[in-house]
Homo-oligomer: A and B are copies of this chain.
């Protein structure tokens, strides 16, 4: 009968001694016996059980559950695994969403100060050009070319009109800042705001993806309020107001 000490087991299985102490304490893996001095001694059977524990641990199954799996012969393992699988999938989707948000934010920050496109957007202020370009990049991170061609196609006059209307809408919204973001008057202007934004975003699809994107843009305004300016100055309160109004709009008007 071969016997192994904690350190030997730890090395064989690639875990720490502390882990073995813990597993002993929570009754997940007890040593086969103890020496007079209290040293833990493990046999082959325990090594096997440890392998099984690690097998399930690889799937991120909590230790408690592993104990049940290994000790309760009537446990419905398939059902438990399916449930766990569902949880993992949810987590995976959540991470995918976070990655999207991060990408958007990075693009946002990266191109925020990119103000050197005079030759392309000749005739507009640097700030205007950068704003347009940024919004394009946020929508089509890898298709900036396409976006810029589209903007050029609009032409200077078309773009100026677009910009004029955006300013117009902004002024209207600023004057409504004391109203509730959900109030009809605000939501009316928000509708115009949305329509105008959509021209930059193209018209590929409508409904839910657009709703989420629009609400997300509102959140972005809050995270970086240099976007929402009042009389040329970044204004945090206006940013918050806009994000609330946009969120409300997305959740009501844009629900398909």
On A, residues with C-beta under 8 Å from B are 44-45, 47-48, 51-52, 55-56, 58-60, 77-78, 81-82, 84-85, 88-89, 91-92, 95-96, 98-99, 101-103, 105-106, 109-110, 219, 222-223, 225, 236-237, 239-240, 243
Nearest B residue to A220 by beta-carbon distance? B55
Please tell me if the beta carbons of B237 and A48 are within 8 angstroms of each other in the complex. Answer: yes
Q: List 14 A-B contacts (CB under 8 A).
A: A44-B237, A45-B236, A48-B222, A48-B225, A48-B239, A56-B223, A59-B102, A59-B105, A60-B95, A78-B110, A81-B102, A89-B99, A91-B95, A92-B95
Q: Collect the chain B residues with CB atoms within 8 Å of residue A219's CB.
A: 51, 55
Number of copies: 2
Other contacts beyond A48-B240, A59-B98, A88-B102: 6, CB < 8 A: A47-B240, A51-B222, A51-B243, A82-B106, A85-B103, A92-B99
Please tell me if the beta carbons of A106 and B88 are within 8 angstroms of each other in the complex. Answer: no
The complex places the Cα of A60 from the Cα of B48 at a distance, in Å, of: 37
Tell me, rounded to whole Å, the shortest Cβ–Cβ distance linking A102 to chain B: 5
Select the residue from A47, A91, A102, A109 with max chain B CB neighbours within 10 A: A102
Tell me, rounded to whole Å, the shortest Cβ–Cβ distance linking A209 to chain B: 18
Please tell me if the beta carbons of B105 and A81 are within 8 angstroms of each other in the complex. Answer: yes
The complex places the Cα of A242 from the Cα of B48 at a distance, in Å, of: 12
Please tell me if the beta carbons of B52 and A223 are within 8 angstroms of each other in the complex. Answer: yes
